[in-house]
Amino acid sequence: MVWAWLIPVLSFAAVPLIILFGKRLPAKGSPLAILAILAGFAIFWVVFAGFLSASPDTEGCEIGVGTEALTCNFKITWFEAGIPGADTSNHDRIEVAWGMTIDPLTIAMLGLATFVALMVQIYSLGYMRDHDGNFDPRLDWYYAFHALFIASMLTLVLADNFLLLYVAWELVGLCSYLLIGFWHERPEPREAAKKAFIVTRIGDVGLLVGILLLWSQVGSFSMTETFAAIENGVLSDGVITVSALLLFLGAMGKSAQFPFHVWLPDAMEGPTPVSALIHAATMVAAGVYLVARAFPLFSASDTAMLVVATIGLITALGAATIALVATDLKRILAYSTISHLGLMMLSLGAFGYTAAVFHLLAHGFAKALLFLGAGSVMHSTDELDVRQMGGLRRVMPVTAILFSIGALSLGGIPILAGFWSKDEILVAVNKELPVIFIVLTLVTALFSALYMARAMFVVFYGRFAEQFEHVHDAPKTMSITMGLLAVFAIVFGLLALDLPGPFKGIGYFIFYHEGHGLVVVAWVMGLSTLLAIAAFIFGYLAYARRSINLDGTRGTFARVLEVAENKYYVDEIYQWTVDRVVLSLSRFIAWVDRALVNDVGINGPGDITRVLGDRLKYHVTGYVYTYALAMALGLIGLAIFWWLVSR
């Protein structure tokens, strides 16, 4: 288990190697990155096995504070500052460690991240080629960024203190910027990359302030110590609420929660495998992970929990409605991700810790699969507008089947993974929150199934779009990776059931305070299943068979549809705010800087000195007798003065 640190370090090590020697290696050094993450994936299983056989008596392990789950910590000192040997609690000294925490949450994230990253990197070998089969000219950089991305994410997941987490957090942000803007020859990816970076950075400020606030109260960046302080009542309720909300601000930025969701749909400008990675395993998962990791903090404040749940619900519902009307295949998937991240946040806010993490995993597999499928479609057809597509299963059957599995899984069709995790979320929401929440969550679930049905039926079924007669199906590197993800999208949900053996089911593995088996609330499960199946049948009739004509309804709801198609004008509101408020304020500040600080404050003394010098310079004639006369007159003056004084 101690060797878990190797998982990110291997990928980190691959980065400079690929950058330096990639050009001279076969396939531009991409095998290095793939081998690194493959080794990471292998080590993950070793760590997992070690963790399952560990007990609180194992060295470094204990029952975690807050979670009550087995937690193993390993660390070495990174740096110390302050008075040597002083006590850390009153800020005379700080100790920061390169440390890792291994608990069920970490294990789950490690598994998801290494697996999806491995699939995505192998898939990219097929995807990052042009139609003649040549590699992208900057493939080495692409793989270097990928390795750095996943290494940062793994560090984030393993970090046992907030400072290390923050470092990794920012690295993840940097990598998303680099990869979204990977094709920076075109203007849109550049803009999208900047948008992603800036929007998430706004949230990151909150995260940093929150971390520092916690440190100022606890005197340590260590998560264990922070949670212990909360448990022991050292922190006041106000501090807990404020710091939880600040941390949540960071999570909102990274996990694209309303109103910071605007960057994620634009991030579609990056290569599609990058979208798969961002949406499933890294980046957006980081926000949900942060809230789950800091759950002892969040759950100690009812206000924070309610805010998390409300923001989650708003995001889930809003994004789902946009996904219903979006016409770009990748954007449908992007808004679907935002919606599902909202559901995870909602679940966390409803104390559904297990459900949220479970859904993060189930969604991760399904969404990675869907994106890789969309990438396959795009790779073959160079088309993303779903209105131009149709009946593609005739020319790309493998992609069609695999995409459909992902869509059905995410849509919540029974026994596929998404069904189980969504059901757990609904149960948690039903148990903890007012009735309006469960109603709206069910609506979201219905929409979620609807837009998945729409994306699947419009693109792959129905009338065949003739212009795609000659497109080919995905190459092996792409179809095999999608197939592996599809297996998980199908069977992963079965972990929700009570299983025999040491791994008794996800509820006994990832839990907060106490483990529990599958909770079935009959009407919730029945209703959600009914809604999902109804949505897919409706989707089949409306989009594949075209036996339900939607044009009439479209006319009736034209105004509503327009608002949703314009993404609730959030981008426009931001643009207006930036143009009118931010820029005018900036102009005023720039004026203050130029007119007051520069012209008066800096040039003022300079001008005075220069003018004074101009006036005074004429007494320096350069003639010896002037100086001599001045000296003589000075002497005489002194003599007279002396005489007057001494008299």
Partner 1 sequence: MVPLVAFQVLSAALFAIGLYGVMARRSAVLIVMSIELMLNAVNINLIAAASHLDGMGKWANFDGQIIAIFVITVAAAEVGLGMAIILRMYRNRSTVNVDEINLMKW
Residues forming the site for partner 1 (CB under 8 A): 617-618, 620-625, 628-629, 632
**How far is residue 456's CA from residue 540's CA, in Å, rounded to a whole number?**
9
User: DSSP label at 136?
Assistant: P
Nearest-approach distance from CB 20 to partner 1, in angstroms: 58
Nearest-approach distance from CB 211 to partner 1, in angstroms: 59
Nearest-approach distance from CB 202 to partner 1, in angstroms: 55
Nearest-approach distance from CB 621 to partner 1, in angstroms: 6
The H or E element that residue 364 is part of is: helix 353-381
Nearest-approach distance from CB 645 to partner 1, in angstroms: 21
Compare residues 23 and 610 and give the one whose CB is closer to partner 1.
610
Contact between 366 and 410 (Cβ < 8 Å): yes
Compare residues 620 and 645 and give the one whose CB is closer to partner 1.
620
Compare residues 79 and 627 and give the one whose CB is closer to partner 1.
627
Compare residues 81 and 620 and give the one whose CB is closer to partner 1.
620
Contact between 364 and 340 (Cβ < 8 Å): no
What DSSP string runs through 295-353? Answer: HHHHTT-HHHHHHHHHHHHHHHHHHHHHHHH--BHHHHHHHHHHHHHHHHHHHHHTT-H
Compare residues 202 and 611 and give the one whose CB is closer to partner 1.
611
**How far is residue 52's CA from residue 509's CA, in Å, rounded to a whole number?**
9
Compare residues 90 and 621 and give the one whose CB is closer to partner 1.
621
Nearest-approach distance from CB 616 to partner 1, in angstroms: 9
Q: Report how far apart, in Å, the C-alpha atoms of 607 and of each of 189, 298, 490, 596, 598 are.
A: 48, 58, 77, 14, 12
Q: Report how far apart, in Å, the C-alpha atoms of 222 and of each of 77, 119, 189, 300, 316 are.
A: 12, 33, 38, 18, 32
User: DSSP label at 2?
Assistant: G
Compare residues 624 and 645 and give the one whose CB is closer to partner 1.
624
Compare residues 555 and 622 and give the one whose CB is closer to partner 1.
622
Nearest-approach distance from CB 629 to partner 1, in angstroms: 6
Contact between 365 and 280 (Cβ < 8 Å): yes
Nearest-approach distance from CB 637 to partner 1, in angstroms: 14
In one-letter notation, the amino acid at residue 319 is A
Nearest-approach distance from CB 584 to partner 1, in angstroms: 47
**How far is residue 197's CA from residue 180's CA, in Å, rounded to a whole number?**
10
Handedness of CA 51, 120, 190, 335 (dihedral sign): negative
Compare residues 491 and 631 and give the one whose CB is closer to partner 1.
631
Compare residues 523 and 625 and give the one whose CB is closer to partner 1.
625
Compare residues 2 and 632 and give the one whose CB is closer to partner 1.
632
Compare residues 584 and 609 and give the one whose CB is closer to partner 1.
609
Nearest-approach distance from CB 609 to partner 1, in angstroms: 14
Region of 413 on the Ramachandran plot (φ > 0 left; ψ -120 to 50 alpha; else beta): beta
**How far is residue 288's CA from residue 360's CA, in Å, rounded to a whole number?**
8
What does the radius of gyration of the chain's CA atoms come to, in whole angstroms?
31
Phi, psi of 219 (to 5 degrees): 85, 10
Contact between 345 and 308 (Cβ < 8 Å): yes
**How far is residue 634's CA from residue 616's CA, in Å, rounded to a whole number?**
19
Tokens 């990274």, located at residue: 254
Compare residues 582 and 638 and give the one whose CB is closer to partner 1.
638
**Around Cβ 425, how many Cβ atoms within 10 Å?**
30
Tokens 């209703």, located at residue: 527
Nearest-approach distance from CB 618 to partner 1, in angstroms: 8
The 10 Å CB-count burial string (b at 16+, else e) for 251-288 is bbbbbbbbebbbbbbbbbbbbbbbbbbbbbbbbbbbbb
Nearest-approach distance from CB 603 to partner 1, in angstroms: 22
Identify whether 273 is preceded by a cis peptide bond (ω within 30 of 0). no
Nearest-approach distance from CB 635 to partner 1, in angstroms: 9
Contacts of 370 (CB under 8 A, 6+ apart): 333, 336, 403, 406, 407, 410, 455
332 is written with which tokens?
């449908």
